[in-house]
Chain A
Amino acid sequence: AQSVAQPEDQVNVAEGNPLTVKCTYSVSGNPYLFWYVQYPNRGLQFLLKYITGDNLVKGSYGFEAEFNKSQTSFHLKKPSALVSDSALYFCAVRDRTGGNTPLVFGKGTRLSVIA
């Protein structure tokens, strides 16, 4: 069975500092990997995805994520955090074996960027 672990419930970072939100996964094969962000009372917004190729993926709002196959990780990063980045972040995987397979989400990490 697929599972996604986000080991931190909360990450606090000062504005302007780099941020990392961690994600590891346990799946068979090579899944597609995604990050979504959820602002209060809003739906999930797509940030970025890893399909294949370069392990460093760049996405929206200056976010990037690094795929590490040996560690089965897909950590979300940003070089310089903004207060407006404060939100709930979800890592998700999707089986690439075909069909209409769903996303499997981690439990989410709340990012708080302090001015």
Chain B
Amino acid sequence: AAGVIQSPRHLIKEKRETATLKCYPIPRHDTVYWYQQGPGQDPQFLISFYEKMQSDKGSIPDRFSAQQFSDYHSELNMSSLELGDSALYFCASSLGRGTRQPQHFGDGTRLSIL
């Protein structure tokens, strides 16, 4: 079965640079979620989109923005990167929001800030 695809798998950036992470949801899934997992931490919800509109917002810094496109893929844009942004970034998708359908996670993008 098709899964959530995230690219790139690994990304190395320097402080103050920008980064763009991409997420391709499972086919027919209309809801995308972004999470940030720091070293040894639990995943923290950043933002979600339903039918190309922002659905919910968590602890996403103002330096980050995201959007969902007409083909339902999503991009997380990160600017003025800081050392503390080094983390594993997960994208998840589901069919519908707030429903019994679970969120299926991609393998994550590991972002390292030098």
- On whether the two chains bind one another, the answer is no
Q: Name A's B-contacting residues (CB within 8 A).
A: none
